[in-house]
Amino acid sequence: MDRYDPKTIEETWQKIWQEQETFKAPSLKTAKDNHQAKMFLAEMFPYPSGAGLHVGHVRNFTIVDVLTRFYMQQEMNVLRPFGYDTFGLPAENYAIKTGISPQSATETNINNFRRQAKRLGLAIDWSREINTSNPEYYRWTQWCFLQLYKKGLAYRKESYQWWCPEDQTVLANEQVENGRCWRCGHEVEKKKMKQWFFKITEYADELLDEVDALDWPEKIKTMQKNWIGRSKGAEIIFEIEDKKDTIKVFTTRPDTIFGVTFLVLAPEHPLIKDLVTEKTREAVERYQKETTKKSEIERQENKEKTGVFTGSYAINPATGEKIPIWVSDYVLMGYGEGAIMAVPAHDDSDYEFAEKFDLPIKTVIEKPEDLDDNGHCYHGEGKLINSGQFDGTDSYDAREQVVAWLEEQGIGKEKITYRMRDWLISRQRYWGCPIPIAYDKDGNEHPIPEDQLPVIIPEVEDYKPDHTGRSALAKAEDWLKVDIEVTDKKTGEKHIETMARETDTLDGYACSSWYLWRYVSPHDDNYAWSPDAIKYWAPTDIYVGGDHAVAHLLYIRFWCKFFADQGLLPFREPVKTLLYNGYINAPDGKKMSKSKGNVIDPLDVIDSGYGADTLRTYEMFIGPYDQDAAWDTKAIGGVYRFLNRCWSLCYNTPVAQEGTSPNSSLRNKATKKVTEDLHRRSFNTAVAALMEYVNELYKSGASHEDITTLAKLLKPFAPHLACEMLE
């Protein structure tokens, strides 16, 4: 073969790899017997959309692939599986629109993804392929739910959800656009419904305390810390003028209590209905209704403060002064008690609110003389002033003293609170893992017995939710009925009772909270994960992703700690090393998206003549893996020319006889540089080192050993070409 022909070479080697099952992980017995180090690598598995892979996915997968092939060359026992996160709204919405079942559409999309992955030459153990919507898999997702339920960490309570009164359906956050239903354009509202939650807050302290020890990017660790948001402060009780009710507030700055000039309640606060007067009721209710159209993210954005006076007053417990009670959407019901004590002299949001509504501002911490605050509030430390018996005390020291004084008075106590709330896990959707719960005639919950799992998703004709907002599962009348054995509390006798199944399904994050452990024994009928296999292969050594910085990564940590506590996992953190890759953007620097029409299909690149090896090598060369980069057609052409030069060295350059090439130092230098770069995941500089090595070989002449070294070093990046060169 005189010229470099990627198509022929890649088809040849992909066929060989498939026939020989080259990338199949060794059996557990073999892995233990050969005494080689193990390496378990995985990427965050993709959602198989109809659009298929784009070149952004390729970067994510190629990072894992380069490391997989590198560690295989180090003669390690390597496990590199693959899977698909297949439940979710896109498939359900597609079914509603076209009538094509999510099951059928998902199978089509997976086949396309698999075909693309194989065309890329990914070193995947295809015998461990996972699909979260396969009953073989979600049987064990339901089992995981039941373990949490048994320990009281899966529970149901009322919660507000988006509701479209026109379509009579619950909407996910992403289906609400500017306060309107994405489908019909009608104004949405918040509706109180019973929802399922996982009690992730039970593990808040451990999740937070162990973040720093993780070998994860600092930005991800910081995001997790902020999401958990542990705050130490005080819970303080404010009496309400002429009422028996009291208002509890949480504050991290109890030292500023003498500066409280008003209270602010979240619009959802349950006491508001009792605080409004005839004069204020209409305005308050109108404001509450407007707030329900906003997400919490919108409410926290920097914008002009809005609010309304309730008409009632509270008593500042430190000063005895009467202070007004307001309602504003900058206060969230999920933080503390859904109420804040406003200290406008020392808090920016409170200051903006006080300025807007002309409320009193009282300074209680002395500002440094050299501070240029432009007349705004001061929220640093200093001596207390206008604070009664605490005047002259350093504010930092005063915090404990004020809390102790509040406790003596019976009007406050020390408290730790968290920004993170329990994980809302239920969805009123058809295409999701059915929640394995049934209800008796009195509405009592009963877990589905484990020997009745999986609870299979039934086939339905209409995928729309019903008029009450329940998922389409509610229309499967035969499926709804289930017989459960119950014990009579009075007689102790057992009998069979027909009950109604839960029609909510689990959020897709539940399915992706444990798949790393299923990979070790994906077809085990007796366990969610084999105890022996999990002990050998897990935890995951290297995990690669470019999304889900908080939710998914926090959830897998939570589940890991829970199952470790049940004695089912021999470790408490699921991932040793996290690599978080940047995006590949369009040539203009904008994020690729189907709606913008700027998505680049990897198969278009491969079939244009460049081939998979060029695409893979280019994506590793484009820049540091953890930084965003823009697609550059000229640069990929340069990588193709580099691979052509590698080919020419092997096939079209007179090869020096063994022992006649003085390149041993050059070979050693290149090997050392590429190996070190791969160990520290500096993929772009490893490719640059290979380019430099090729340049030097063209100058000095190449021996058989020189080209063999080149092929071995090139193999993780351009495996098809490298294998052909070695052959």
Model confidence band, residue 501 (pLDDT cutoffs 50, 70, 90): very high
Model confidence band, residue 291 (pLDDT cutoffs 50, 70, 90): confident
pLDDT, mean of residues 477-502:
93
How many whole angstroms from its chain centre is CA 54?
Answer: 20
310-314, 393-397, 487-491: least confident range: 487-491
Does residue 78 register a pLDDT over 90?
Answer: yes
Q: What is the pLDDT of residue 295?
A: 66
Model confidence band, residue 255 (pLDDT cutoffs 50, 70, 90): very high
Better-predicted residue by pLDDT, 137 or 600: 137
Does residue 436 register a pLDDT over 80?
Answer: yes
Between β-strands 445-447 and 505-506, what pairing exists: parallel, antiparallel or unpaired?
unpaired
> Can you spell out the DSSP letters for 572-608?
S-SEEEEEEPPPEE-TTSPPP-TTTT----HHHHIII
Does residue 659 register a pLDDT over 60?
Answer: no
pLDDT, mean of residues 104-112:
95
4-13, 20-29, 138-147, 540-549: least confident range: 540-549
Does residue 595 register a pLDDT over 90?
Answer: no
Neighbour-count burial for 165-190, b at 16+ CB within 10 Å, e otherwise: eebebbbeeebbeeebbebeeeebeb
Q: What is the pLDDT of residue 697?
A: 93
pLDDT, mean of residues 304-323:
96
Q: What is the pLDDT of residue 592?
A: 82
pLDDT, mean of residues 253-261:
97
Q: What is the pLDDT of residue 297?
A: 62
What pTM was computed for the model?
0.89
Give the residue carrying structure tokens 């305005």.
283
Q: What is the pLDDT of residue 446?
A: 97
Q: What is the pLDDT of residue 681?
A: 97
Does residue 605 register a pLDDT over 60?
Answer: yes
Model confidence band, residue 190 (pLDDT cutoffs 50, 70, 90): confident
Domain 230-418 superfamily per CATH: Valyl/Leucyl/Isoleucyl-tRNA synthetase, editing domain (3.90.740.10)
Most confidently predicted of 25-39, 45-59, 162-176, 588-602: 25-39
pLDDT, mean of residues 249-266:
97
Most confidently predicted of 171-175, 190-194, 349-353: 349-353
Neighbour-count burial for 287-296, b at 16+ CB within 10 Å, e otherwise: bbeebbbbee
What ranges do the domains of the chain cover? Answer: 22-138+509-602, 230-418
pLDDT, mean of residues 73-91:
95
Mean pLDDT of the chain: 92
Q: What is the pLDDT of residue 610?
A: 97
Does residue 656 register a pLDDT over 60?
Answer: no
159-168, 360-369, 572-581: least confident range: 159-168
- Can you list the alpha helix ranges (DSSP code H) found in 89-134? 89-98, 102-119
Does residue 553 register a pLDDT over 80?
Answer: yes
pLDDT, mean of residues 16-44:
97
Model confidence band, residue 373 (pLDDT cutoffs 50, 70, 90): low
Does residue 535 register a pLDDT over 80?
Answer: yes
Does residue 547 register a pLDDT over 90?
Answer: no
Model confidence band, residue 542 (pLDDT cutoffs 50, 70, 90): very high
pLDDT, mean of residues 281-304:
81
Better-predicted residue by pLDDT, 174 or 357: 357
pLDDT, mean of residues 399-423:
93
Better-predicted residue by pLDDT, 185 or 525: 525
Does residue 660 register a pLDDT over 60?
Answer: no
Q: What is the pLDDT of residue 89?
A: 83
Q: Does domain 22-138+509-602 bear CATH number 3.65.10.10?
A: no
194-203, 412-421, 584-593: least confident range: 584-593
Does residue 658 register a pLDDT over 70?
Answer: no
Does residue 301 register a pLDDT over 70?
Answer: no
Does residue 65 register a pLDDT over 60?
Answer: yes
pLDDT, mean of residues 558-564:
98
Does residue 662 register a pLDDT over 90?
Answer: no
Does residue 106 register a pLDDT over 80?
Answer: yes
Q: What is the pLDDT of residue 197?
A: 94
- Common-topology check for domains 22-138+509-602 and 230-418: no
Distance CA 564, CA 546 (A): 27
Does residue 467 register a pLDDT over 80?
Answer: no
Q: What is the pLDDT of residue 374?
A: 60
Most confidently predicted of 80-94, 522-536, 593-607: 522-536
Q: What percent of the chain has pLDDT over 70?
A: 96
Burial of 199 (0-12, 13-18, 19+ CB in 10 A): middle
Neighbour-count burial for 527-555, b at 16+ CB within 10 Å, e otherwise: bbbbeebbeebbbbbbbbbbebbeebbbb
Distance CA 286, CA 7 (A): 66
Q: What is the pLDDT of residue 193?
A: 87
Burial of 21 (0-12, 13-18, 19+ CB in 10 A): exposed
Distance CA 246, CA 412 (A): 12
Q: Note whether 231 and 418 are within 8 A (CB).
A: yes
Model confidence band, residue 174 (pLDDT cutoffs 50, 70, 90): low
Query: In angstroms, how far is the first alpha carbon of the chain from the final one?
Result: 13
* Inter-axis angle of helices 633-651 and 611-621, nearest 10: 120
